[in-house]
Structure 1
Amino acid sequence: MPAWSTAREGLGLQEVVNNKDLWKTLLAEFVGTLFLVFIGCLTCIGWTDEGYAPSVVQIALGFGITVATMAQSIGHISGCHINPAVTVAMIVTRKIPLFRALCYIVMQCMGAAAGSALLKALTPEDIHGTLGMTQLNPKLTAAQGFGVEALITFVLVLVVFGVCDERREDVLGSGPLAIGLSVTTCHVGAIKYTGASMNPARSFGPALVTGLWDNHWVYWAGPVFGGLLAGGLYATAFRAGRLHSASDSDREDTKMEKYEP
């Protein structure tokens, strides 16, 4: 999707009647976020009667690889944002119209809630625990938690914009894998601090199902702030320059990047 250049394009209301495939993109965001929360939080469940507790690395890999596989699977449909912080960053950099973005965020939250509800239904009640709910370490203040969430989400969104910059010719390997690994590495470091949400929907789903809303604002404000900073920085300072073809040095590749791993 090219960057919008007018207020009408920015609002995107024309998509309601003109885009027959809009429902597919919304369904993709719902399904992608559902499995992100279901599989990711599934790795957080401990079977205490058997003396089993998941490790930090296991949880980090669970979330990171799930993000990578979902991006590979549905990236061509919706761009696989599956994260309101990514969607907000796309709004401010004019990569997605407002109406579509709001629909994405609603579907992401609904998918997260459905994923958490499925996890609760399929897990024995005596080992539910918090169903993988993100919670601040008791030694942290809310402000510190905000800072951690902002910085780790900054890393994620910066990687998203970097690997999906269509002006770059030096990106090698798998874009979805790079994005998934950014999630993994931030989880390894931040799980003991905040649970490493990096995604407001990921925290919203379990909070809705468990009723644990303590410091929930941290998991919206931190990731959204970090995503805005990363998206704005990449768009204004880090975006690759326009390419010149070998046959015609005056012809520029004006394609705009989009979040489609």
Structure 2
Amino acid sequence: MWKELLSVAFYRAVFTEFLATSVYVFFGLGSVLRWPSALPTILQISITFNLAAATVVHISWHVSGAHINPAVTMAFLLGSRMSLARAACYMVAQLAGGIAGAATLYGVTPAEIHGNLGINTVQNGITSGQAVAVELILTFQLVLCYFASTTHHRNSNSPAPFIGMSVALGHLIGIYFTGCSMNPARSFGPAVIVKKFAVHWIFWVGPMTGAILATLIYNVVLEPDLKSLAQRLAILKGTFDMEAEDREEAKESRQAVSLHNSHPGTLP
């Protein structure tokens, strides 16, 4: 654990999560401001969150893994893809980034425009239970997309386009129900700035539950994770060499592709 905590790369990754989340929240919330000359549309908001997510994921992917979301970090922790210390630091950085992004937007926007700064609320007669269920489903598909698009032996390219599309998909539906959070940091930032926490718990319970469910479905059913208990504990403590494991997976993938090319029909 101490080796990880004392490395420069660790703090570079934590800072990257802070920076990426603040940029994501600034641009995302900026799309929901109600300017009198051009009120936002559902499509505009969805596209902006799409582009913001894709941009920050592409920027931060190779540095921190581009979580920008405590729910995603929780999923990766439970899926034995990161240590407990890294997950805790990521979540703190993401929440701080959410506050920084919301505060910056608040500071550069006229008082009559920023309003409630796009905080997530329950809308259109939706009950709290229905809102939690919707946030669960929206985050469920997002976390599944994260797992599928960041699996090294399947895809070595940037997952930015796929994650951006998943974020847009959630907004195209979720805006009608809750304004679409899928990300506690996105909800926490503006809530802190405007000091409004009514039904804020929904935007923690829904996304976190969806992330946990997605972790179970992906790592048990869709692509079973065969790590041993000893490996999982080593990852949790931060003593497992994840980079060596990734290199081994990449090597096995290249060998499989080479075998298939030299002997067509030997692999599905």
> What TM-score range do you get, normalising by the shorter chain?
0.7 to 0.9
In structure 2, give the amino acid aligned to 1:84: P
Structure 1 residues 37-77: Cα deviation after superposition (integer angstroms, max 9, x where no partner): 100000001112x3x21000101111111111111111100
Partner residue of 2:179? 195
Partner residue of 1:15? 4
Partner residue of 1:8? none
Partner residue of 1:76? 62
Structure 1 residues 92-124: Cα deviation after superposition (integer angstroms, max 9, x where no partner): 011010001000000000000000000010000
Q: Does residue 185 of structure 1 match 2:185?
A: no
TM-score relative to the length of structure 2: 0.82
Per the TM alignment, residue 221 of structure 1 is displaced from its structure 2 partner at its CA by 0.8
Per the TM alignment, residue 245 of structure 1 is displaced from its structure 2 partner at its CA by 2.5
In structure 1, give the amino acid aligned to 2:172: V
Partner residue of 1:3? none
Once residues 67 and 225 of structure 1 are traced to their aligned partners in structure 2, the CA distance between those partners, rounded to angstroms, is 21
Task: Return 5+ residue gaps in structure 2 as ranges.
Answer: 226-251, 261-268
Structure 1 residues 227-250: Cα deviation after superposition (integer angstroms, max 9, x where no partner): 11112211111128985626679x
Partner residue of 1:98? 84
In structure 1, give the amino acid aligned to 2:13: T
Q: Is the 8 A contact 1:153 1:223 kept in 2?
A: yes
Identity of aligned residues (%): 36
The one of the two structures with greater contact order (alpha-carbon pairs below 8 A, sep at least 6) is 1
Q: Is the 8 A contact 2:61 2:158 kept in 1?
A: no
3-state secondary structure, aligned to 2:25: helix
Q: Is the 8 A contact 2:74 2:212 kept in 1?
A: yes
Task: Return 5+ residue gaps in structure 1 as ranges.
Answer: 1-11, 250-261
Once residues 119 and 257 of structure 2 are traced to their aligned partners in structure 1, the CA distance between those partners, rounded to angstroms, is 53
Structure 1 residues 190-215: Cα deviation after superposition (integer angstroms, max 9, x where no partner): 10100110000000000000111111
Cα pair distance change 1:246/1:119, threshold 3 Å: closer
Partner residue of 1:214? 198
Q: Give the count of matched residue pairs.
A: 233
In structure 2, give the amino acid aligned to 1:236: V
In structure 2, give the amino acid aligned to 1:224: M
Per the TM alignment, residue 153 of structure 1 is displaced from its structure 2 partner at its CA by 0.4
Cα pair distance change 1:245/1:206, threshold 3 Å: same
Partner residue of 1:158? 144
Cα pair distance change 1:112/1:247, threshold 3 Å: closer
Partner residue of 1:32? 20
3-state secondary structure, aligned to 2:176: helix
